[in-house]
């Protein structure tokens, strides 16, 4: 089974970017998502638009990604994050076909 990657773009409300990064980098939910197959997350801020975030999240499998995304705990977390955004994120789900690391 292929590793799963979700890439998404978010338009953050003005003045809320730090709140978003604090939420994305929080450790409160880390043990729960690690146990479900979460592997890594990267959050980037666009150089062209200070309110635009790009995020890349990897999971061990698409099945585990979907289990997490459909859980009540993840929905609660998402609703808190969504309150910081101007609109719903633009999602792109993919299978990892090649990966390199230093």
Sorted by where each begins, the domain ranges of the chain are 14-95
The first and second tokens of residue 80, run together, are: 């808190």
Stated pTM of the model: 0.88
Report whether pLDDT(28) > 80.
Answer: no
Output the average pLDDT for the chain.
93
Whether residue 27 has pLDDT greater than 90: no
At residue 30 the predicted structure's pLDDT band, cuts being 50, 70 and 90, is confident
Spatial CB neighbours of 56, under 8 Å, sequence gap ≥ 6:
5, 6, 7, 41, 42, 44
Could you tell me which CATH number the domain at 14-95 has? 3.30.70.100
């Amino acid at each position: 089974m292929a590793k799963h990657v979700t890439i998404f773009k978010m338009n953050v409300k003005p003045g809320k970017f730090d709140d978003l990064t604090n939420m994305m980098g929080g450790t409160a939910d880390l043990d729960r998502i690690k146990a479900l197959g979460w592997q890594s997350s990267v959050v980037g801020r666009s150089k062209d638009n200070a309110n635009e975030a790009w995020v890349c999240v990897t999971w061990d499998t698409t099945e585990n990604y979907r289990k997490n995304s459909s859980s009540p705990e993840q929905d609660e977390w998402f609703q808190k994050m969504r309150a910081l955004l101007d609109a719903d994120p633009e999602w792109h789900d993919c299978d990892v076909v090649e990966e390199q690391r230093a």
